[in-house]
Structure 1
Amino acid sequence: MIYTRLRVEEKLLHQRAQELGVPSRLVDATHWVLGGDLDVPSGGVALCRAISHGQNETIARCLESRGIRVSNPPEVMARCGNKMLTALALDAEGIPQPRWRVALSPEGAMEAVGDLGFPAVLKPLCGSWGRLLAKVNDRDALEAVVEHKHQLGVNHQTYFIQEYVEKGGFDVRAFVVGGRPVAAIRRSSPHWITNTARGGEASNVPVDVEMYRLLEGVQRAIGGDFLAVDLFRSDRGWLVNEVNDGGEFKNSIGPTGVDIPGLIVRHLLDLK
């Protein structure tokens, strides 16, 4: 397991591997220089859990080029790490999601929101933990946010925009391991951003037939060994908001009673 900061999730995965008798090695990649000889054993599976998504994908691509099976594969990381690529993949599979647009200029962003309508949500193409999201309720707010993003530089000058979905104060984070939906939590908050990293409260949600089939469709669209899928319940049914390839799960084990790290370890063992 390759990491740059040893979080609770990495510790749990390593602990469960040991308890299950699965050989596991923790490797700190913080000071790696890629392109040279790396102290990574051949065979087995490399589970990439670096904090930075860009660094994680870089590590995964270098390891895969040397014939090492990486989880998740870098192509899956790339789809999940870019909200437009995620949206395109979901569209291709016919997966319901909030309406979205990508604009390449401030003027285009204004036009896109005019098409989607207020309120709308502007997101960075790459980002997590609910950071740098902006809900705009009117044109004055939109102009301010677009100008601010434009001045932040090239990484913020591609505008990913979604319709705002009234989700009733909660969303759902569901987990898919080895292509199989295994658990889901409801994340509730009075704030429109419900991430547990931003204070959302977690409780168990049974994975019913409708949700199970939707998550199977997400798996077909995105691929991968482990996915964390964010869902909205709307008047159009379930909508897929985002798909994460390296999702955190420490706040989901207790409410669901599901051994998520154990399921991940068992799946990785089957890949060898």
Structure 2
Amino acid sequence: MTKKTIGLLHTTIRGDEKLIIEAARKEDVSLEVIDIRESTFSLGAKNYKFEVALERCVSTVKGMHALEYFGNINIPTVNALSVARICENKFLTSLNLGKQGVPTPRFCLVFSETQAKEAVAKLGGFPIVLKPVSGSWGRLLSKVNDMDALESILEQKTTLGGPQHHAFYLQEYINKPGRDIRLNVVGKKAVAAIYRESNHWITNTARGAEPINCPITKDLEDIAEKTVGVIGEGVLGIDIFESKDGLLVNEVNHTMEFKNVQRITGIDIAREIIKYSVSKIKS
């Protein structure tokens, strides 16, 4: 039987990609490892031999263009471009989840200081969270405690920031129990989860939060199913807040880092990713 071949698209090989490479070996799947920084995407540029493209780029911009390209030359991608387009935009994620009734923090997108001030009341008052529409690793998040702070931050963004900083994504502040949940989904299934505990209001392992095993409950399975029903299936990292009103989906990541989850839970997420990618190969 001919081996299945996956194209592993990357901009650097991290611990996560090393786990994927090892999992492919265990599953007897061939990998064509491609640093897209050394690639040229054009019609007829290359006759690719792999049957599905697994996008693992650190750079969102480069990764999105890779998904656009391979989708257009009829090579299936993980994740699908439609999924990635929603996930890479926090506003679009919130909009789609909220529209379909998936619990998520209240939010607003505004383009001026005046509208931002008016939006605060709609979000329940201070504190609020101000974040970029696109970004990862808990970077450039601001917990805004009062109007003076809001005015100062917005002035700095409009004066010093590029065009991407002139759209203000505001979110209600959720008083979490010193942790959030990262739930990993492969296909349509919740496969593993961790708590990310921190004394800081930003609970992200890239910002120092401690990963601790989190059992997958029926509530987590339900919220995974609802989220996938809106965003689409794939390899996803769902960030979830525990609130007084229940679980809230904060963000959905389409190129999730999973090495901490795999290490803490003992679940071979990389192997699940390989098997799912193979399932996307056209027969």
3-state secondary structure, aligned to 2:264: helix
3-state secondary structure, aligned to 2:30: coil
Q: Which residue of 2 aligns with 1:103?
A: 110
Q: Give the 5 Å matches for 1:184-223.
A: 184-223=193-232
Q: Which residue of 1 aligns with 2:272?
A: 263
User: Which of 162, 177, 183 is equivalent to 1:168?
Assistant: 177
Quick one: which amino acid aligns to residue 111 of structure 1?
E
Q: Give the 5 Å matches for 1:52-63.
A: 52-63=59-70
The answer to whether the 8 A contact 1:177-1:226 is kept is: yes
Q: CA offsets per residue over residues 51-99 of structure 1, 9 Å max, x none?
A: 1112101111011100000110111111000011101110122100100
3-state secondary structure, aligned to 1:12: helix
User: Which of 231, 244, 258 is equivalent to 1:249?
Assistant: 258
Aligned-residue CA RMSD (Å): 1.2
Q: CA deviation at 1:267?
A: 1.0
The answer to whether the 8 A contact 1:92-1:221 is kept is: no
The answer to whether the 8 A contact 1:42-1:68 is kept is: no
Q: Structure 2 vs 1, CA of residues 270 and 53 (structure 1 numbering), >3 Å: closer, same or farther?
A: same
3-state secondary structure, aligned to 2:140: coil
Counterpart check, 1:153 vs 2:189? no
2: CA distance between counterparts of 1:79 and 1:54? 14
Q: Give the 5 Å matches for 1:1-272.
A: 1-39=8-46, 41-42=48-49, 44-116=51-123, 117-151=125-159, 152-272=161-281
Quick one: which amino acid aligns to residue 120 of structure 1?
I
Quick one: which amino acid aligns to residue 131 of structure 1?
R
- TM-score between the two structures when normalised by the length of structure 1: 0.97
Q: Structure 2 vs 1, CA of residues 26 and 43 (structure 1 numbering), >3 Å: closer, same or farther?
A: closer
Q: Tell me the matched-pair count.
A: 272
- TM-score between the two structures when normalised by the length of structure 2: 0.93
Q: CA deviation at 1:43?
A: 5.2
The answer to whether the 8 A contact 1:3-1:51 is kept is: yes
2: CA distance between counterparts of 1:189 and 1:38? 48
2: CA distance between counterparts of 1:167 and 1:262? 32
3-state secondary structure, aligned to 1:46: strand
Percent identity at matched positions?
A: 40
Greater than 6 Å deviation, 4+ residue runs:
none
The answer to whether the 8 A contact 2:87-2:253 is kept is: yes
Q: Structure 2 vs 1, CA of residues 30 and 234 (structure 1 numbering), >3 Å: closer, same or farther?
A: same
2: CA distance between counterparts of 1:217 and 1:107? 35
Quick one: which amino acid aligns to residue 187 of structure 1?
R
2: CA distance between counterparts of 1:10 and 1:40? 24
Q: Structure 2 vs 1, CA of residues 253 and 34 (structure 1 numbering), >3 Å: closer, same or farther?
A: same
- Structure 2: tracts of 5 or more residues without a match: 1-7
- Structure 1: tracts of 5 or more residues without a match: none
Higher alpha-carbon deviation: 211-220 or 40-49: 40-49
2: CA distance between counterparts of 1:264 and 1:210? 23
2: CA distance between counterparts of 1:136 and 1:90? 24
3-state secondary structure, aligned to 2:31: coil
Quick one: which amino acid aligns to residue 262 of structure 2?
I
Q: CA deviation at 1:34?
A: 2.3
The answer to whether the 8 A contact 1:229-1:244 is kept is: yes
Q: CA offsets per residue over residues 128-150 of structure 1, 9 Å max, x none?
A: 00000000001111111111111
